[in-house]
A and B are shown apart, each in its own frame.
Chain A
Amino acid sequence: MKLRALLPLLAFLILVVLLGYGLTRNPKDIPSPLINKAAPAFDLPAVLNPDDKVSDKNFLGKVTVFNVWASWCSACRDEHPILVKFAKEHKTTIYGLNYKDQRADAIRWLGIFGNPYIASAYDVTGNTGIDWGVYGVPETFIIDKKGIIRYKQIGPVTDKIIADKILPLIRKLEKE
């Protein structure tokens, strides 16, 4: 009898635990369907020099970080110095996808804040962005030597994320 009286309390506690767990999750994080899939093909002119091409073929043979950015994106501005530092300190291969931006703005942005990218693809229509499932700039992908996407970060990369997730993964993928 006594035990039965505790049932509603138990049900309530289960609810509290479930709702509490729900609060710790970020609803903006949509798991990417592209993880462990081949990088979607694209072939775009580079931001700095329209005659140069950037394509998914550039990713083959080395572990690559692919960062989606735009000069209109304020979170990219927070993220940028971290990427610049990261590229310099760890000699990482970083390519950029300049998403729905104006070329002149993008070039000026790289001039002011520094350019951590080997090259940035100029995706003015956003079509490549759609193929990559981009919905919240900045986004960062890690692609292995075979051109398979292994990780996606939605929102700005932080020092902590680099230390905890990105760097260990790159080290691991380099040995594969």
Chain B
Amino acid sequence: MNPIKQISFTLILVLTSLSISAAINVYQFDDPVKKERFYNLIDELRCTVCQNQTIAASNAGLAKDLRNKTYKMIQAGKTDDEIKTFMVERFTDFVLYNPPVNNSTLLLWIGPAVLMLIAFIFLISNIRKRVSTPVTEIDAQEHERVQTLLKQKKDGNND
């Protein structure tokens, strides 16, 4: 590779990487703590338009607006709780990927544990029953029949 080619190749690499990082760093923070809070928050807030994405992952217009709103609120010195309250007041608990325990989410929170408990009780009672069931004794005649049947089975296998 000649030097000119080498330099231009390097330049292309450097310039393209610059433009990519510019696209990611739309949000400028002077404080790394704020930056971390911002990225944690937008990863915890759900996009109401495309419902299985966070506002960090979604390209929807509303998600973009809510990212901007979150950014502005962080820069204005609002706490995480204040920002979450702001979102919940407008879009309900639905916007939180980690919803709080209250009347409407109680089933969601304790449901799996309750089902687990029921299954466990069922399992224990079944095991107990099986252990306590007495083995039925058979008389001599039946015993003889079992022997014959077993013998037949054995002979059959030898064929």
Q: Which residues of A are in contact with B by a Cβ distance under 8 Å?
A: 27-28, 30-34, 100, 125-127, 129-133, 135-136
Given A100-B61, A126-B62, are A133 and B51 also a contact pair (CB < 8 Å)? Answer: no
A22 to B94, CA, bound (A): 17
Main secondary structure of the interface of A (DSSP, over half): loop
Alpha-carbon separation in the docked complex, A31 to B93 (Å) = 10
Which residues does chain B contribute within 8 Å of A31, judged by CB atoms?
Answer: 92
A-B contact pairs, 27 of them (CB 8 A): A27-B51, A28-B51, A30-B48, A30-B91, A33-B89, A33-B90, A33-B91, A33-B92, A34-B90, A100-B61, A126-B61, A126-B62, A126-B65, A127-B65, A129-B65, A130-B62, A130-B65, A130-B66, A130-B69, A130-B90, A133-B90, A133-B92, A135-B48, A135-B49, A135-B62, A136-B48, A136-B49
Whether B49 pairs with A133 at a CB distance below 8 angstroms is: no
- Contacts A131-B90, A136-B49 aside, 7 further interface pairs with beta carbons under 8 A come to A28-B51, A31-B92, A33-B89, A126-B62, A130-B65, A135-B49, A135-B91
A135 neighbours in B (Cβ, 8 Å):
48-49, 62, 91
B88 at the interface (CB under 8 A from A): yes
